[in-house]
Chains A and B, each alone.
Chain A
Amino acid sequence: MSSSRAQARKLRALLASTGFLLFVGVMAVYSASSFVSITRFGNSYRYVLMHLVRVAFALGLAVVAFRLPYRFWKRMSLPIYLASLALMLLTVVPGSPLSVTLNGATRWLRLGPFMIMPSELLRLGFVLLTATLVSQRLVSPRSRGGVATILLLALLPAALMLFQPDFAGAVLLCLTMLVMLFLSEARLSHVMAIVLLLASLAAVAVAGADYRLERVFGWQNSENGLSAENFQPNQACIALGSGGLRGRGLGRGRQQRGFLPEAFSDFILAVIGEEAGFLGTSLLIAVMLVLSLSIWGIASDADDCFGSLVCGGVAASYTLGALLHAGVCTKLLPATGVPLPLVSWGGTNLIVTLLGLGIAANVARSSGRW
Chain B
Amino acid sequence: MQRPGELTASRRRSRIRFVLFSVVFCFSIVTLSLFRIQVSSHEYYLSVADAQHTHTVQLEPRRGRIYDRSGYLLAGNTSVVTFEVYWPSVIQEQLPRIDSLVARLGDHALVGVPVERWSSNQTIARSVPLETASPILAGGVPAGVNWRIGSVRSYPMGEMCAAVLGRWSPDLCEGLEMSMDHLLRGEAGFTVVERSAFPGLHMPSLDAERRPSRDGVDLRLTIDSRFQTIVQEELQRGVDESGAAWGAAVVMDPWSGEILALGSYPVRSGSGCLAVNHCISGYHEPGSTFKVVTLAACLEEGVLVPSDTFDCSRGQIPVADRIISDCHRYGTLTIEEIAAHSSNVGIVKMVSLLPDSVIFSYCRRMGFGSRTGIELPGESEGILRPPDQWSGLSRASLAIGQEVAVTPLQLACAFCAIANGGRLVRPRLILASCDGERWRDWADLPASRALEAGTSSMVLRMLETAVEEGTGTTAAVPGIRVAGKTGTAERLSQGEDEYLSAFVGLLPAESPDLVIAVVFDGPDYEYRFGSALAAPAFATMAREILAVEPELAMGHGSSPDSELLAGRWGTE
Interface positions of A (Cβ within 8 A of B): 35, 39, 134, 140, 142, 179, 182-185, 237-245, 252, 254-255, 257-259, 273, 277-278, 281-282, 285, 288-289, 292-293, 296, 299-300, 305, 308, 312, 316, 319, 323, 326-327, 330-332
A241, B12: Cβ atoms under 8 Å?
A: no
The answer to whether A330 and B30 touch (CB under 8 A), given A182-B19, A238-B52, is yes
A312, B42: Cβ atoms under 8 Å?
A: no
The answer to whether A142 and B6 touch (CB under 8 A), given A179-B19, A258-B196, A296-B20, is yes
Give the top 5 A-B pairs by smallest Cβ distance, nearest first: A241-B45, A258-B197, A257-B196, A242-B49, A278-B38
The answer to whether A323 and B27 touch (CB under 8 A), given A244-B42, A252-B206, is yes
- Cross-chain contact of A238 among B19, B27, B39, B49 (Cβ < 8 A): B49
Is B7 on the interface with A (CB-CB < 8 A)? Answer: yes
A134, B30: Cβ atoms under 8 Å?
A: no
State A324–B380 Cα separation when bound (angstroms): 82
Instruction: Enumerate B1-60 residues with CB–CB distance to A below 8 Å.
Output: 5-7, 9, 11-13, 15-17, 19-20, 23-24, 26-27, 29-31, 33-35, 37-39, 41-42, 44-46, 48-50, 52-53
Name the distance in Å between B187's Cβ and chain A's nearest Cβ. Answer: 30
User: B7 — which chain A residues lie within 8 A by C-beta?
Assistant: 134, 184-185, 305
Name the distance in Å between B7's Cβ and chain A's nearest Cβ. Answer: 5
Instruction: Enumerate B194-240 residues with CB–CB distance to A below 8 Å.
Output: 194-198, 201, 206
- Cross-chain contact of A183 among B16, B24, B35 (Cβ < 8 A): B16
State A296–B14 Cα separation when bound (angstroms): 12
In this complex, the member of A293, A299, A300, A308 whose beta carbon has the largest number of chain B beta carbons within 10 angstroms is A300
User: A323 — which chain B residues lie within 8 A by C-beta?
Assistant: 26-27, 30
Q: With contacts defined as CB atoms under 8 Å apart, how many contacts are there between chain A and chain B in the complex?
A: 136
A258, B6: Cβ atoms under 8 Å?
A: no
User: B38 — which chain A residues lie within 8 A by C-beta?
Assistant: 240-241, 243-245, 273, 277-278, 281
User: B23 — which chain A residues lie within 8 A by C-beta?
Assistant: 289, 292-293, 296, 319
The 15 sampled A-B contact pairs (Cβ below 8 Å) are A35-B201, A185-B7, A185-B12, A240-B45, A242-B50, A245-B38, A254-B49, A258-B196, A259-B52, A259-B196, A289-B23, A293-B20, A300-B12, A327-B30, A332-B33
User: B33 — which chain A residues lie within 8 A by C-beta?
Assistant: 326, 330-332
State A85–B110 Cα separation when bound (angstroms): 65
State A327–B34 Cα separation when bound (angstroms): 10
- Cross-chain contact of A39 among B6, B16, B46, B201 (Cβ < 8 A): B201
The answer to whether A185 and B30 touch (CB under 8 A), given A254-B194, A255-B49, A257-B201, is no
Interface positions of B (Cβ within 8 A of A): 5-7, 9, 11-13, 15-17, 19-20, 23-24, 26-27, 29-31, 33-35, 37-39, 41-42, 44-46, 48-50, 52-53, 194-198, 201, 206
In this complex, the member of A252, A255, A277, A330 whose beta carbon has the largest number of chain B beta carbons within 10 angstroms is A330
Name the distance in Å between B6's Cβ and chain A's nearest Cβ. Answer: 7
In this complex, the member of B34, B48, B206 whose beta carbon has the largest number of chain A beta carbons within 10 angstroms is B34
Interface of B is mostly: helix
State A316–B194 Cα separation when bound (angstroms): 41
Name the distance in Å between A147's Cβ and chain B's nearest Cβ. Answer: 13
State A184–B8 Cα separation when bound (angstroms): 10
Residue of B nearest to A254 (CB): B53
User: A278 — which chain B residues lie within 8 A by C-beta?
Assistant: 34-35, 38-39
The answer to whether A182 and B45 touch (CB under 8 A), given A142-B6, A244-B39, is no
User: B52 — which chain A residues lie within 8 A by C-beta?
Assistant: 238, 259
B26, A241: Cβ atoms under 8 Å?
A: no
State A156–B29 Cα separation when bound (angstroms): 32
Residue of B nearest to A182 (CB): B15
B198, A285: Cβ atoms under 8 Å?
A: no
User: A319 — which chain B residues lie within 8 A by C-beta?
Assistant: 23, 26
State A348–B128 Cα separation when bound (angstroms): 56
In this complex, the member of A140, A241, A282, A326 whose beta carbon has the largest number of chain B beta carbons within 10 angstroms is A241
B12, A281: Cβ atoms under 8 Å?
A: no
State A319–B34 Cα separation when bound (angstroms): 17
State A245–B34 Cα separation when bound (angstroms): 10
For the complex with contacts A257-B194, A300-B16, 6 further pairs of A-B residues with Cβ separation under 8 Å are A182-B19, A238-B52, A245-B39, A254-B194, A285-B30, A319-B26
The answer to whether A35 and B15 touch (CB under 8 A), given A240-B38, A242-B46, A243-B38, is no
Name the distance in Å between A298's Cβ and chain B's nearest Cβ. Answer: 10
Name the distance in Å between A302's Cβ and chain B's nearest Cβ. Answer: 8
In this complex, the member of A39, A237, A238, A242 whose beta carbon has the largest number of chain B beta carbons within 10 angstroms is A242
The answer to whether A326 and B12 touch (CB under 8 A), given A242-B42, A245-B39, is no
User: A257 — which chain B residues lie within 8 A by C-beta?
Assistant: 194-198, 201
B196, A35: Cβ atoms under 8 Å?
A: yes
State A281–B33 Cα separation when bound (angstroms): 11
Name the distance in Å between B30's Cβ and chain A's nearest Cβ. Answer: 4
B42, A241: Cβ atoms under 8 Å?
A: yes
State A39–B6 Cα separation when bound (angstroms): 59
User: A142 — which chain B residues lie within 8 A by C-beta?
Assistant: 5-6
State A201–B49 Cα separation when bound (angstroms): 38
B30, A326: Cβ atoms under 8 Å?
A: yes
The answer to whether A238 and B48 touch (CB under 8 A), given A185-B7, A281-B38, A330-B33, is yes
In this complex, the member of B12, B20, B50, B53 whose beta carbon has the largest number of chain A beta carbons within 10 angstroms is B12
